[in-house]
Amino acid sequence: MKTLNLDITHAQYFVEKEYESLLAKSAEALETLNNGTGAGADFLGWNTLPSSTSDELLGRIEKTAERLQENCDYVVCVGIGGSYLGAKAVISALSDNFADFYGPQPKRPKVLFAGQNIGEEYLAELQKLLKGKRFGIIVISKSGTTTEPAIAFRLLKDQLVAEAGEEKAKNLIVAVTDEKKGALRTMADQEGYETYVIPDNVGGRFSVLTPVGLLPIAVAGFDIKKLISGAADMERTTKHASPENPAQEYARLRNALYQSGKKTEILANFNPKLHYLAEWWKQLFGESEGKDGKGIFPASVDLTTDLHSMGQWIQDGERTIFETVISVKEPSITHRIPEDAANLDGINYLAGKRIDEVNKMAELGTMLAHVEGGVPNIRIELHALDEYTLGQVIYFFEKACGISGYMLGVNPFDQPGVEAYKKNMFALLEKPGYEKETAAIKSKLK
């Protein structure tokens, strides 16, 4: 098994004492997680999800994906937060960087996303693109009541019914939601859409390995069995407490760094395909740990791109940060820098080298410079960018997040803070049932 490699050499010595002292606490947090005895224990379904995902479910998802692939050139995934970022992260990591410019291929629909914002232009322009095209919709919402996807779904469903007719539209819409409750469940049952259930005990940001992520990923043409197999191997690797358990090590080190005043973690990648993996990671850790006045702030940069914009700050700004680099060992393509007789650009010293060799030296040079500048550096090496490795890294981060949250002393599985903006928005929009809040908020605005 080619496993993900965690290298903490260039971070551990910054906090040797704190790191040592947290071994027992990290083991205890892992035990609490495994035994289901901590806060939020009703939401631990993700912990054993890879090993318990049945072939039957995967087969059914693949069949649905085939139906959408055969009948659609575009499939729009409607969802936000945990109902969006996991699929987006995996599809971006596995796709050609310029896939969008190639257009749909036979039985390979373009997977688009909506309901992850409330952009008027975004929705109007998406609908313009879809006009007259063969498209389908995967609508995803655990609660089934989230406003952003509800607006997008209403618009897209109306368009699909108007263009394809009611009967055909039903066959082109799949809903992923709660088994029993929520407006989306009611609508799906009434309209007769095919549905998939998001297990009760799996929270949104931990749901990428349920149909929430698996169906869009399968529609995009990627192997969900390999994804699950990578995650299942990581589930085994990280199950038992040990100083070598990589999820426990990462959680322990993050907490040691946090205690020593490193309040921001920057996830850095050296591959543009990993941009959305960082977005998914930010939600996972931000929503899980940022509560009760505590929590590392999860930030991200794309390198080397952002070295030319954020490099100065990272090297020399306030020393409250540490960096976690995701590095891909083997690019899937070999591409070399050509020789140039005139050498006017002065880069003939690189001629014949793989572009990745230059990238890896940029990575090493950056690490040495940042460490020298007082930024601890954690390195996570993925063997390659494929389904198996992505399954591994997804589960690795989920497990580390659960352990880390318990070590921090928060409930990593709730998100009470997310409700605050919604309450204000509903009050401002005068949603029925919010009359008291509407009056209160309007009085504040006078």
The reply to whether 260 sits near ligand PA5 by the rule CB under 6 A is no
> Which residues on adjacent β-strands are paired with residue 173?
137
Which part of the chain contacts ligand PA5 (CB under 6 A), choosing from 140-148, 154-162, 327-335, 390-398? 140-148
Of 141 and 238, CB closest to ligand PA5: 141
Of 386 and 398, CB closest to ligand PA5: 398
The reply to whether 146 sits near ligand PA5 by the rule CB under 6 A is yes
Catalytic residue among 422, 430, 435, 442: 422
CB of 283 to ligand PA5, least distance (A): 6
Rounded to whole angstroms, how far apart are CA atoms 171 and 68? Answer: 9
Rounded to whole angstroms, how far apart are CA atoms 33 and 47? Answer: 8
5-7 and 377-384 strand pairing: antiparallel
**296 three-state secondary structure:** coil
Which part of the chain contacts ligand PA5 (CB under 6 A), choosing from 26-34, 37-45, 57-65, 200-208? 200-208
Which value, to the nearest 10 degrees, does the dihedral of the CA atoms of residues 357, 359, 365, 368 take? -100
Contact assessment for residue 256 and residue 15, using Cβ atoms and an 8 Å cutoff? yes
Of 142, 171, 146, 143, nearest in space to 157 by CA:
171
Answer for which of 249, 287, 289, 387 binds ligand PA5 (CB under 6 A) is 287
The reply to whether 415 sits near ligand PA5 by the rule CB under 6 A is yes
Of 289, 288, 284, nearest in space to 89 by CA:
284
Rounded to whole angstroms, how far apart are CA atoms 82 and 245? Answer: 26
Print the binding letters for residues 58-87 with ligand PA5: x by CB under 6 A, - otherwise: ----------------------xxxx----
CB of 164 to ligand PA5, least distance (A): 25
CB of 88 to ligand PA5, least distance (A): 13
Catalytic residue among 287, 363, 387, 398: 287
Q: Which two tokens stand for residue 110?
A: 């373009």
The reply to whether 185 sits near ligand PA5 by the rule CB under 6 A is no
Q: In what order do the strands lie in the sheet with 135-141?
A: 110-114, 74-78, 135-141, 173-177, 194-197
Answer for which of 204, 216, 286, 405 binds ligand PA5 (CB under 6 A) is 204
CB of 421 to ligand PA5, least distance (A): 11
**1 three-state secondary structure:** coil
Catalytic residue among 308, 335, 436, 444: 308
Of 51, 33, 84, nearest in space to 230 by CA:
51
**Packed helices 275-289 and 85-94: angle between N→C axes, nearest 10 degrees:** 150
Of 77 and 321, CB closest to ligand PA5: 77
CA torsion sign, 290 to 294 to 296 to 297?
Answer: positive
Residue of minimal Cβ distance to ligand PA5: 204
Print the binding letters for residues 205-244 with ligand PA5: x by CB under 6 A, - otherwise: x---------------------------------------
CB of 148 to ligand PA5, least distance (A): 8
Rounded to whole angstroms, how far apart are CA atoms 69 and 71? Answer: 6
Which part of the chain contacts ligand PA5 (CB under 6 A), choosing from 203-211, 295-303, 322-330, 381-389? 203-211
Residue given tokens 């589960």 in the structure block: 395
Which amino acid is it at 166? E
How distant is the alpha carbon of residue 417 from its chain centre?
19
The alpha carbons of the chain give a radius of gyration, in whole angstroms, of 23
Which part of the chain contacts ligand PA5 (CB under 6 A), choosing from 29-37, 139-147, 325-333, 373-381? 139-147
Query: Is 287 annotated in the active site?
Result: yes
Contact assessment for residue 92 and residue 279, using Cβ atoms and an 8 Å cutoff? no
How distant is the alpha carbon of residue 267 from its chain centre?
13
Q: Which two tokens stand for residue 373?
A: 């500048």
Query: Is 170 annotated in the active site?
Result: no
CB of 206 to ligand PA5, least distance (A): 8
CB of 123 to ligand PA5, least distance (A): 17
Which amino acid is it at 5? N
The reply to whether 405 sits near ligand PA5 by the rule CB under 6 A is no
Of 86 and 136, CB closest to ligand PA5: 86
Answer for which of 142, 157, 225, 291 binds ligand PA5 (CB under 6 A) is 142
The residues of the shown chain that bind ligand PA5, judged by CB under 6 A, are 80-83, 141-143, 146, 149, 203-205, 287, 415, 418
Catalytic residues: 287, 308, 422
